[in-house]
Chain A
Amino acid sequence: MPRLRMVLFWCGVLLLIAPIAAVVCDMPRFGDHPLPYGDAINHDAPRDRHVSNTVSAVNFDYRGFDTLGEEFMLVCAVTGAVVLLRGSRGESVTAEPGTLPGRGLPGRSDAAVLISRLMGPFTLLFGFYVVLHATVTPGGGFQGGVVIASGLLLLFMGEGYRGWRRIMRTPWLDVCEGGGALLFALAGLAPMLTGSAFLQNILPYGKFRDMLSGGLMQIENAGVACAVMAGFSLVLLEFLEETREPEHDDT
């Protein structure tokens, strides 16, 4: 069987090597950007939208509709995972994850606890910084949201399962997840009340390089940050819950 696999592999190599070489030789030079779109955005976004992070300007303003679609993709994925996993295990939070009945859980080392307790708050703070400065410095709602979710995981490693579950209330995360996506959709619909187009940036743009610049982008960014933070936390939480085996008097 392995021989047949190797024969197939070499047949594929012989067939594909010439086209691949042709494509590689024809690629633009490293660092080239032949398309004019990037230059146009770099030129327009600071002037038209008073935003210095042009990636956010593309995500939330020029191509905001695409981001709305991605937002709902994330919500659907998280909802699907939660619906599949949150089953009959009950709401109890006493049993530790990753244990087998009758086998103890080895404790965490002091070094792991210390590092997690030191880094957790700073990671959370950095996540909020990335979210708040979406229109000024690289980053934004998605990046900040995943950084915050990683910070919450560090709290799990620092405080253990029970301490972590005391912070991670599932209903709050559910609301945060759905509410974030709803906020984005409302930010799209609200301009229509004034007769503008869907997602048209009708709010004042603010000062260039100011934390609050960008107008409507700020609201969309907050929605994305909420949804991504809660979405990632929920998926990680539901996966961790899968390894728990609640005791009988516990459910």
Chain B
Amino acid sequence: MTALVWIILLMTTATGAGVVFSREPRQQVLAIAANGLVLTLLFSVLQAPDVAFSELAVGTVALPLLFLVALTSIRTDRKDPP
């Protein structure tokens, strides 16, 4: 296990903890995206480029976007704006 893998594993831990400890939903969505990006790096370093593609597109683009859109939908669903 090289130093690079260790560094990225530490980054995975840090960004994963970031997801758990961020309380504001929009911040949490961005934390999930950051975690997905670090996982993409991890999979590339571990020589699994196809898994990295999936993680990049699903974990960093699609999933955060769905969450963001859901949050927007909640915010715009009020009949009378406060």
Give chain A nearest CB distance to B15 CB in angstroms: 20
Q: Which of B50, B70, B81 contacts A138 (CB 8 A)?
A: B50
Would you list which residues of chain B between 43 and 82 have a CB under 8 Å from chain A? Answer: 48-50, 53-54, 57-58, 61-62, 65-66, 69-70, 72-73, 76, 78, 81
Q: Residue B20 at the A interface, CB < 8 A?
A: no
Q: Which of A55, A98, A236 contacts B65 (CB 8 A)?
A: A236
Interface centre among B50, B54, B81 (most CB of A within 10 A): B50
- Is B81's CB under 8 angstroms from A100's CB? yes
- Is B61's CB under 8 angstroms from A143's CB? no
**Assembled-state Cα–Cα distance A144/B1 (Å):** 30
Would you list which residues of chain A between 222 and 251 have a CB under 8 Å from chain B? Answer: 232, 235-236, 239-240, 242-243, 245
- Is B57's CB under 8 angstroms from A143's CB? yes
- Is A139's CB under 8 angstroms from B49's CB? yes
Would you list which residues of chain A between 138 and 157 have a CB under 8 Å from chain B? Answer: 138-140, 142-144, 146-147, 149-150, 153
Instruction: Given A138-B49, A142-B54, A239-B70, verify A100-B62 contact (CB < 8 Å).
Output: no
- Is A150's CB under 8 angstroms from B49's CB? no
Q: Can you list 7 residue pairs at the A/B interface with Cβ under 8 Å?
A: A98-B76, A100-B81, A139-B53, A143-B54, A143-B57, A146-B53, A239-B69
Q: A138-B49, A144-B53 are in contact. List 12 more A-B contacts (CB 8 A).
A: A30-B1, A53-B50, A97-B72, A98-B76, A99-B76, A100-B78, A143-B54, A147-B53, A149-B57, A236-B62, A243-B73, A245-B76
**Assembled-state Cα–Cα distance A240/B69 (Å):** 6
Instruction: Given A139-B49, A243-B69, verify A146-B62 contact (CB < 8 Å).
Output: yes
Give chain B nearest CB distance to A84 CB in angstroms: 13
Instruction: Given A143-B54, A150-B57, verify A232-B62 contact (CB < 8 Å).
Output: yes
Which A residues form the contact surface with B (CB < 8 A)?
Answer: 30-31, 53, 55, 97-100, 102-103, 130, 138-140, 142-144, 146-147, 149-150, 153, 232, 235-236, 239-240, 242-243, 245
Q: Which residues of B contact A240 (CB under 8 A)?
A: 69
- Is A55's CB under 8 angstroms from B62's CB? no
Instruction: Given A100-B81, A236-B62, A243-B76, verify A139-B50 contact (CB < 8 Å).
Output: yes
B46 nearest CB neighbor, chain A only: A31
**Assembled-state Cα–Cα distance A144/B69 (Å):** 24
Q: Which residues of A contact B1 (CB under 8 A)?
A: 30-31
Q: Which residues of B contact A153 (CB under 8 A)?
A: 61, 65
Give chain A nearest CB distance to B39 CB in angstroms: 15
**Assembled-state Cα–Cα distance A196/B1 (Å):** 46
Q: Which residues of B contact A232 (CB under 8 A)?
A: 62
**Assembled-state Cα–Cα distance A102/B79 (Å):** 12
**Assembled-state Cα–Cα distance A53/B48 (Å):** 12
Q: Which residues of B contact A138 (CB under 8 A)?
A: 48-50, 53
**A-B CB proximity, top 10 nearest:** A146-B57, A143-B53, A138-B49, A138-B50, A239-B69, A242-B73, A150-B61, A243-B73, A243-B72, A30-B1
